[in-house]
Amino acid sequence: MTVTLADVAARAQVSPATVSRVLNGNYPVAAPTRERVLRAVDELDYVLNGPASSLAAATSDLVGILVNDIADPFFGITASAIQSEIGGPGGRAGGERLAVVCNTGGSPERELTYLTLLQRQRAAAVVLTGGAMEDNAHAEAVGAKLRKLTAAGTRVVLCGRPPAPEAIALTFDNRGGGQRLSEHLTGLGHRRLGYIAGPQERTTTRHRLEGHRAALAAAGIEDDPRLTVHGPYDRRAGYEATLELLCREPSLTAIVAANDTVALGACAALRDSGLRIPEDVSVGGFDDLPFSIDAVPALTTVRLPLSEAGTRAGRIAMGREEPPPGGVSMVRGELVVRGSTAAPRV
């Protein structure tokens, strides 16, 4: 049975005109209403037909790039590299394609909404970047979206995200990188290490923390839950978490941060507390973002090849590079030792 615009309107409890406005994007619609309409579209698997279908097919030069936070250099670097590969030979209109960066703000609902919109627009490719949500229901919903996209001919690539059967994945070795960073610190003699983790619901957070804990276990150090603090991947979280860690354990000699931005906040909190880096407390980060080498002292971190991975993801999405064997490639992080880490004070 063919699903009609009226069916979608009835499911969403809006008028057919409102459904049309949402799908055409030519008139402002309140966010909750738009979300309700798109959910109804997805649940009913509504497909445009007639002239509208032809119009949708004509937009197949569209490429969607999903990021959690475009203001975060991690995602900005990755998205820029992906976008640099969007044009080139093989596409229509001289090979040019329109890249749209979709900023989810870390919201699972927005992630699903953008995937629905890209499906409606018959996107040529979709690249999802960064960690995934640790939620089974959301993972199933995303998987269903990706299956619909691939079934319609959209290439789906994951960049820095755990593998999924519905897509090609360039996944970062966050566990291995986290372990190498903390092994560097335990190798210097540190035994009281604080850890500032990211949001608990993110796969990146869990994997990097697992690497840290593996390093502690290898060094015979008991993992003290009091010495792990979770928070957003931002400077303020690093600052506040460091003050909390110092209150819990004033004898800390090292702090491992979930990423470089968090590490900068940690360094600021240590300085404001009258502590020197690395003489009193060593600090390590993750990602090797551009500002890391210019911090004072320069930040020890794990370098992820964000630009190179983004470029490769873009080439695979555009069909200019063969997918890796089995559809999954692990991208390894490199430990970069700089001035922010040293042996603990005696």
Cβ 232 vs Cβ 263: under 8 Å: no
State the pLDDT at residue 313. 97
Give the tens place of pLDDT for each residue, 117-148: 998 889 999 999 999 999 999 999 999 999 99
Amino acid present at 209: L
Kindly state the DSSP code that residue 37 receives in the 8-state scheme: H
State the pLDDT at residue 48. 54
Give the tens place of pLDDT for each residue, 281-293: 999 999 999 999 9
Backbone angles phi, psi at 336, to 5 degrees: -120, 110
Cβ 104 vs Cβ 67: under 8 Å: yes
Concatenating the DSSP letter of every residue in 194-230 gives: EEEE--TTBHHHHHHHHHHHHHHHHTT----GGGEEE
Angstrom distance (rounded) from CA 194 to CA 285: 12
Laid out side by side, the sheet with 193-197 consists of 228-230, 193-197, 254-257, 282-284
Tokens of 162: 């755990």
pLDDT above 90 (res 345): no
Cβ 224 vs Cβ 265: under 8 Å: no
What domains are there in the chain, each with its CATH number?
47-172 (3.40.50.2300), 174-304 (3.40.50.2300)
**Look-up of token digits 């500032």:** 196
Give the tens place of pLDDT for each residue, 64-122: 999 999 999 999 999 999 999 986 544 433 457 889 999 999 999 999 999 999 988 89
**Look-up of token digits 């020197």:** 276
Give the tens place of pLDDT for each residue, 147-190: 999 988 999 999 999 999 999 999 999 999 999 999 999 999 99
Q: Rounded to whole angstroms, what are the CA distances from 165 to 139, 145, 290? A: 12, 12, 33
Among candidate residues 293, 269, 294, the one with its CA nearest the CA of residue 281: 269
pLDDT above 70 (res 24): no
- The pTM (predicted TM-score) of the whole model is 0.83
Query: Where would I find the H helices in the chain?
Result: 5-12, 16-24, 31-44, 51-57, 73-84, 108-120, 136-151, 174-187, 203-218, 235-248, 260-272, 306-317
Among candidate residues 280, 318, 283, the one with its CA nearest the CA of residue 297: 283
